[in-house]
């Protein structure tokens, strides 16, 4: 998805929630500023739907909740809110909030050329503030490539690069699946990064 700074004046978190309810598009809220979330490609949407459905079916009876791109994530100990493409929380506190998760153990961003640097850099730095986050999945929409940032037991972040033929392992929700499951039937074009 494309992220662009909106011309809206700085808002308080309460003003942001009220304002956004009246908007046609979603907006992330970072340090009092709002950023419009533009649309993504067909591949971007199909990949996000497949991952969300896969996670939701897997955690259905576990007490965990799957979020799609309509559910905000509140950055821990801040008033910042983002819209990942998918997330899963197993935290009891998140079951009592109506508008967002704060403690997801898994966050997914489907990459586009306009947001990839932000998703890998600044956004990941914000997400890492969450002590419950174990897996951060960055999924290409133009080639069969997935990068997993995994926090091990020593609290170190490891990067695992997956490609065609690999099996993705998400320890956060105890799920393994072949990478091709997400890309089946898609026409991939490395030159079309949104």
User: What is the pLDDT at residue 148?
Assistant: 98
- Checking if the pLDDT of 4 tops 60, the result is no
Main-chain phi, psi angles of 26, to 5 degrees: -80, 150
Res 10: pLDDT = 83
Query: Which domains does the chain show, CATH number per domain?
Result: 40-183 (3.90.1570.10)
Cβ atoms < 10 Å from Cβ of 34: 24
* Mean pLDDT along residues 25-43: 83
pLDDT for 20 beyond 60: yes
Better-predicted residue by pLDDT, 24 or 1: 24
Q: pTM of the prediction?
A: 0.90
Residue 62 half-sphere exposure toward CB, CA atoms < 13 A: 17
Tell me the pairing of strands 81-82 and 72-74: antiparallel
Write out the E strands in the chain.
3-5, 27-30, 33-37, 65-67, 72-74, 81-82, 86-89, 100-101, 104-110, 135-139, 145-151, 157-163, 167-170, 175-178
Q: Kindly tell me if the per-residue pLDDT of 2 is higher than 60.
A: no
What mean pLDDT do residues 29-52 have?
Answer: 88
Which residues in 31-133 belong to E strands, given as ranges?
33-37, 65-67, 72-74, 81-82, 86-89, 100-101, 104-110
Calculate what percentage of the chain has a pLDDT beyond 90: 70
Percent helix / strand / coil, the chain, rounded to 5: 25, 30, 45
pLDDT-based confidence at 171, cuts 50/70/90? very high
Of 116, 111, 89, the C-alpha closest to 102 is 89
Q: How far apart are CA 100 and CA 94, in angstroms?
A: 8
- Per-residue confidence (pLDDT) for residue 107, from 0 to 100: 98
Give the C-alpha separation, 42 to 47, whole Å: 9
* Better pLDDT: 4 or 61: 61
Question: What's the rounded mean pLDDT across residues 180-193?
Answer: 84
CA dist 119 and 138 (Å) reads: 8
Work out the average pLDDT over 141-158. Answer: 96
Binning pLDDT at 50, 70 and 90, where does residue 6 land? Answer: low
Q: How far apart are the first and last CA of the chain?
A: 8
Per-residue pLDDT of 52-104, as tens digits, reads 999 999 999 999 999 999 999 999 999 999 999 999 999 999 999 988 999 99
The answer on pLDDT for 28 being more than 90 is no
């Amino acid at each position: 998805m494309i992220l662009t700074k909106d011309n809206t004046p700085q808002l308080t978190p309460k003003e942001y929630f009220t304002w956004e309810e009246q908007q046609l598009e979603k907006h992330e809220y970072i340090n009092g500023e709002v950023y419009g979330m533009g649309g993504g490609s067909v591949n971007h949407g199909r990949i996000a739907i497949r991952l969300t459905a896969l996670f939701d079916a897997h955690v259905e009876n576990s007490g965990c909740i799957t979020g799609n791109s309509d559910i905000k994530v509140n950055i821990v100990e801040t008033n910042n809110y983002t819209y990942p493409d998918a997330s899963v929380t197993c935290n009891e506190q998140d079951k009592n909030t109506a508008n967002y998760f704060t403690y997801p153990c898994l966050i997914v961003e489907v990459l586009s050329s306009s947001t990839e640097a932000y998703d890998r850099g600044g956004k990941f730095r914000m997400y890492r503030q969450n002590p419950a986050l174990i897996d951060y999945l960055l999924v290409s929409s133009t080639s069969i490539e997935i990068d997993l940032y995994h926090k091990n037991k020593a609290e170190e972040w490891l990067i695992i690069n997956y490609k065609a033929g690999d099996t993705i392992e998400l320890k956060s929700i105890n799920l393994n699946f072949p990478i091709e499951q997400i890309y089946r039937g898609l026409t991939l074009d490395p030159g079309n990064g949104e």
